Structure 1
Amino acid sequence: MTVENIECTMPDRPSRRAFWRDPRVAFMVKWIASVIQIAGYAATAFGVTPLNLYLFLGGVVGWLAMGFIWNDRAIMLIHFVALGAMLAGMASG
């Protein structure tokens, strides 16, 4: 017995999936966000400020987007909290 992917379509809606549900988009977002975040770590290690903060912001926003794409609440929570903490820290000084 095999399990097959079954596409359910509504009569009034096309079966085309949204572009952010495309696995290729998810692949690109997660790898670009990861590379940006790694660049943020490197910038921190070499004392390149404030560029490191902006790189971290890019990586955090990318991974927050991945949480929404994958509908993964744990990823959304950690990156939403990280984003809030970073913005609050940047605003305070």
Structure 2
Amino acid sequence: MTVENIEPGLQGGARQSAFWQDPRLAFAVKWVASAIQIAGYAATAFGMTPLNLYLFLGGVVGWLAMGVLWNDRAIMLIHLVALGAMLAGMASG
């Protein structure tokens, strides 16, 4: 018995690629989110509050989107927890 990758497609064997399944989108989202996250670290190092929080928020949301794009529950979980903690901290603030 073998396991095959079965993708839903159109009749006649033609497949329609969804926008969110484009590897170029994943490439762009992960690198933009990473750059924003790095900017958040730099803003923290230079004491640029609250800019650092907003940058981290952007990076976390970007990586949460990557978890959804990749259907990776571990990435989704860690970034949902981080997002919740950041929003709770910002609200109490």
TM-score by length of structure 2 reads 0.87
In 1: Cα distance, 2:6 partner to 2:87 partner: 43
The alpha carbon displacement at 1:18 in A equals: 1.2
Tell me which residue corresponds to 1:74. Answer: 74
In 1: Cα distance, 2:43 partner to 2:65 partner: 23
1:34 aligns with 2:29: no
In 1: Cα distance, 2:45 partner to 2:20 partner: 33
Tell me which residue corresponds to 1:61. Answer: 61
In 2: Cα distance, 1:77 partner to 1:39 partner: 23
Identity %: 80
The alpha carbon displacement at 1:35 in A equals: 0.1
Tell me which residue corresponds to 2:25. Answer: 25
In the alignment of these two chains, the number of paired residues is 87
1:45 aligns with 2:38: no
> Deviation digits for residues 14-72 of structure 1, max 9, x if unmatched?
72121111000000000000000000000000000100000000000000000000000
Tell me which residue corresponds to 2:91. Answer: 91
Gaps of 5+ in 2: none
Distance verdict in 2 for CA 1:79–1:47, change over 3 Å: same
The alpha carbon displacement at 1:10 in A equals: 4.3
Q: Find runs of 4+ consecutive structure 1 residues off by over 4 angstroms.
A: 5-8
Gaps of 5+ in 1: none
TM-score by length of structure 1 reads 0.87
